[in-house]
Structure 1
Amino acid sequence: MTTLIDGPVTGADGLARPPWAAQDELLRAYYDTEWGMPVRDERGMFERLCLESFQVGLSWRLILQKRTALRKAFYGFDPDSVAAMDSIEHLLDDAALIRNRRKLAAAVTNARATLAMREEGTNVAQFVWSFQPDETPAPVVMSEVPTRSPESERLAAELKKRGFTFVGPVTMYALMESTGVVDTNLVGTWRRGASGVWPV
Structure 2
Amino acid sequence: MLLAGGLSRRMGGGDKTLRLLAGHSILDRVIDRVRPQVGTLILNANGDPARFAGSNLEVVADGVPDYAGPLAGVLTGLDWAAEHAPGARWVASFATDAPFQPTDLVERLLAAVERDGADMACARSDGREHPVFGVWPVHLRHDLRRAMVEEGLRKVDVWTARYRLAVAEFDTDPVDPFFNTNRPDDLAEAERLIADGLVA
Q: Structure 1 length as normaliser, TM-score? A: 0.32
Greater Rg over alpha carbons, structure: 1
- Could you say which structure has the greater relative contact order, defined with CA pairs below 8 angstroms and 6 or more residues apart? 1
Name the structure with the higher strand share: 2
Name the structure with the higher helix share: 1
Q: Structure 2 length as normaliser, TM-score? A: 0.32
